[in-house]
Structures are given as structure tokens and as C-alpha cells.
Amino acid sequence: MSPNPSQPPSLRVEEWEAGPVVVLALSGALVRATAHTLEQPLVRALARRVPPLVVVDAERLSAVDPVGGDLLAHAVRYATQAGGRLVVAGGGERVEAHVADAMSPTLDEALSELARPTRRGDPP
């Protein structure tokens, strides 16, 4: 049985913590019609700790449009301006155009990256 093409896209967000890092695992499509689903979990994740340490696991995203990509890019900028980090794990080309400087190949690598202590003067 093939999927119904008239069905609207959906996005699922699972939220959990790995030590000081908040992880948002996404599955589905991060597009104009679903971006609102990510907004509140993203705000909570960015506000949970100062400075914020957040990983968005994008490995199971099926699509990202400019609206979804902009939401991720704005969150990356906010985390950086607040002295923290937001890293997008996986997602490949679907997210690379929007957050190439904040990507990590896998969730494990992103968590390791954020767990490392930074020294004053180190690049974020």
C-alpha cells in the first residue's frame, strides 16, 4: 500500500537529555507546514541551561525546506550569541545548506563535541 500523497507532512520531536546536553530527535519533514511543531521544544531546549548546549538529531528527517532550514539556522545563531552551542547531527544535504558550520556527522559525535570543555579563545 503506497502512502497517500494528499496527506499533510508531519514532524515528530523527541526530547531528552544526555548530561548537560538537550537532544531533540526529529523524524518526518521539517517544512513550512510542520515547523511550528519544533518551535516550542527548541525554545525550551535553548532556555533549559545557560549557556545552551543542544543537539538536533536530523538523521531521520525526510525533507527540509527553506522555512525549516531557517528555523534551525536562527536557533544556531541564538545559541552562539548566548555563549552556547547548537549542533545538528546527521541530515546530510537536507540541512547542510542551512547550517553547514554547525553540523556533525552523527549524534554520538555531536554529543562528544559538546561534552568537551572549551577554553577561552577557542572557536565555538
For each of the domains in the chain, give its residue range(s) and CATH number, in order of start: 11-115 (3.30.750.24)
Would you state the pLDDT for residue 108? 97
Query: Angle at the Cα of 110 (from 106 to 114), degrees rounded to 5?
Result: 170
Residues 89-104, mean pLDDT to the nearest whole number: 94
Between residues 33 and 4, the one the model is more confident about = 33
Kindly tell me if the per-residue pLDDT of 3 is higher than 90: no
Q: Are strands 103-104 and 85-89 parallel, antiparallel or unpaired?
A: parallel
Kindly tell me if the per-residue pLDDT of 100 is higher than 50: yes
Would you state the pLDDT for residue 8? 83
Kindly tell me if the per-residue pLDDT of 13 is higher than 90: yes
Condensed to tens digits (0 to 9), the pLDDT of residues 77-90 reads: 999 999 999 999 99
Q: What is the DSSP string of 42-77?
A: HHHHHHSSSS-EEEEEEEEEEEE-HHHHHHHHHHHH
Helices and strands (DSSP H and E) totals, the chain: 4, 5
Averaged confidence pLDDT in the chain: 91
Condensed to tens digits (0 to 9), the pLDDT of residues 36-61 reads: 999 999 999 999 999 999 999 999 99
1 band by pLDDT with thresholds 50, 70 and 90: very low
2 band by pLDDT with thresholds 50, 70 and 90: very low
The CA distance from 84 to 114, in Å, is 9
Write phi, then psi, for 89 (nearest 5 degrees): -100, 130
Are the beta carbons of 73 and 35 closer than 8 angstroms? no
How many Cβ atoms are within 10 Å of 46's Cβ, its own excluded? 20
Write phi, then psi, for 63 (nearest 5 degrees): -160, 150
